[in-house]
Amino acid sequence: MQQIGRGTAIIVVVSDKSLRSPYCMYELLEIHRNLNFADRIFPIVQDDAKIQQLEDRWEYVAHWKTKHKKLEELLQTIGTGVVSSSGGFSEYKRIQEIAHRADELLSILGRMNTLQPASLEANNFELLKNSIIDWFQKLRSEG
């Protein structure tokens, strides 16, 4: 996940399922953590991922807040003494970070000019290919 986050140009497929997956969301966090998030990603947004409207994005934020709260309550019940730092506790910390940063990440994605699967397929992904080529040419010209 950390290696993906350090990528120079990253194609991100965004779906409802990925926005509810702790692994996919953590990968997004890793990409964001390594700066220039919006400049390094080429998001392809599936129809089921509702990120354009605030209330839709906040549904995902509520999902992560609820998930974190449930885990927090379970952690209080079982106590930190029985939780392994290399096991469940590290996963808990990832979910905690997702819950705190989901609004920021989804707001950035919601403002971006994202690629739609149907338009990509219609021209054999030429739009995506050209976007990546243009991006690399711009990067080279900047030095």
CATH label of the domain that carries residue 68:
3.40.50
Over residues 40-55, the pLDDT tens digits come to 899 999 999 999 999 9
Name residue 72's amino acid.
E
d(CA 5, CA 42): 13
Q: What is the pLDDT of residue 100?
A: 97
Three-class SS of residue 11?
A: strand
- Domain containing 108: what range? 2-142
Mean pLDDT of the chain: 89
pLDDT score, position 143? 65
Quickly state the pLDDT bin for 1 (edges 50, 70, 90): low
Query: Could you tell me the pTM of the whole model?
Result: 0.82
Question: What number of other Cβ atoms are within 10 A of residue 75's Cβ?
Answer: 15
Closest to 54 in 3D by CA, of 114, 111, 139: 111
The whole-angstrom separation of Cα 26 and Cα 91 is 10
CA distance 20 to 17: 5
The count of domains in the chain is: 1
CA distance 3 to 138: 23
Per-residue pLDDT, 20: 98
pLDDT tens digits, one per residue of 92-141: 999 999 999 999 999 999 988 777 788 778 888 888 888 888 888 887 88
pLDDT above 70 (res 2): no
